[in-house]
Chain A
């Protein structure tokens, strides 16, 4: 299978006052084109570092990051990013905020076409009518939706989401999960999402990668039986409960609170392929 994102044996450490702090220690991950991988792991295990590596904002000390058959050494316009903090520019209207990437990335679209695309994306996430509003006039969930539109405006191949819904209340978050599925259907992308929410990971992703504690490597990979759009009800099935239990256990292992041996090599559910690496 052709992988759009390939991360091979990446090592990275930060220079701190007290010496080198290893963050990633032989981390591996692959995402096929059109795939959606959720990365979970204990706090401070280097999840955000991982997004910066894929975006080309950082370089690994050793190992390789490949994107669409090319090694990543610097930022590239084929990536879209959205963070927990929606970082909308308060002095611009929502429409102008969303069109911001098109001022950087070369585009063949005319001004009118750019605006049309921005309006289309806004309607996709249910924000039609808010084009001329200021970010301060929007609720947290609405801002996050606008941030998602901005990440997609230049039709990136890869969408990187760093805890995009982490600051939202539970109901708003479920709304946005649904919107994510809708958006991915109409605006296909290959996604990598960092999250702390295990339910979110199994509801949105095709595959969940558990990072070990710092320095992080790939500890566990869970392939989901259902991929693509799915009903929120799938979260309330015995299979989902099993998967959540396994992921919870893996997080505890990563935190060093549970022995690793117990779940070694065990498949998460009868129909799934889980593997320890």
Chain B
């Protein structure tokens, strides 16, 4: 990666922090109205072991939820991509399911599997993030130009061969586009569970304890930590995309 690619985003973040600091300073807002970046430094300093352990809790549950979303989303997408009947049958169900605000699902899930906090959190992270993956795969497969299929079919290739050699790789760019959306969604899911039904685990719980203790800088610090994790995971996806679907990237002209 070139220096430029690191420098420009870093500079953008620094400018953002300066503007934020200035906004709070000019308005003379107390930290319970809005904490400034300079308030966050002590918060991080004071609670860093908590940030590490809670951040890890949030991260691994999000990643597991996301992995399940990838598997289930891909399978659903394949079913809908290859079968028109299944597509017509499943789309309304999926759209309906996706339209339900997940905040309302959290208490239901929490009651359904009482005490299984890790499981519940992963479940919500999965539920909120599989939809874009399923849709992208199904669209990628169903819009495959017939000629692509025909060049292999005319030689007697099986459906599975056509899927592995053509349909799947051709769908990868769409898949990674959806995965980038799914990453942020999965974080929302994890935190939803951690905040609405806290079990003292994860950054959501830390946020919640900041709220109970009126520790406003801590709450803001949690938001920044979440944003940081989101950015990290996003760039992991970008790196994977470059490895597996780098061919779809055109040289800027």
Contact = CB atoms under 8 A, between A and B. Distances in A.
A85 interface: yes
Give the size range of A's interface with the partner. 20 to 34
Nearest to B248: A90
A176 to B, nearest CB: 18
Contacts of B247: 90-91, 134, 136
Chain A contact surface mostly: loop
6 contacts: A56-B154, A89-B165, A90-B170, A90-B248, A101-B151, A160-B154
A27 interface: no
A74 interface: yes
A111 interface: no
Contacts of A101: 151, 155
Contacts of A100: 151-152, 165
Contacts of B172: 91
A154 B166 contact: no
Interface in B136-158: 145, 147-148, 150-157
Interface of B: 145, 147-148, 150-157, 161, 165-166, 169-170, 172, 245, 247-248, 250
Contact of B151 (A74, A81, A90): A81
A154 to B, nearest CB: 7
Interface in A81-136: 81, 83, 85, 87, 89-91, 100-101, 103-105, 134, 136
A96 to B, nearest CB: 11
B156 A76 contact: yes
A136 B154 contact: no
Contact of B154 (A57, A85, A103, A134): A57
A75 B248 contact: no
B77 to A, nearest CB: 19
Contacts of B152: 100, 104
A49 to B, nearest CB: 12
A95 B245 CA distance: 19
Interface string A62-85: 000000000000111101010101
A55 B151 contact: no
A223 B245 CA distance: 50
A47 interface: no
Contacts of A103: 165
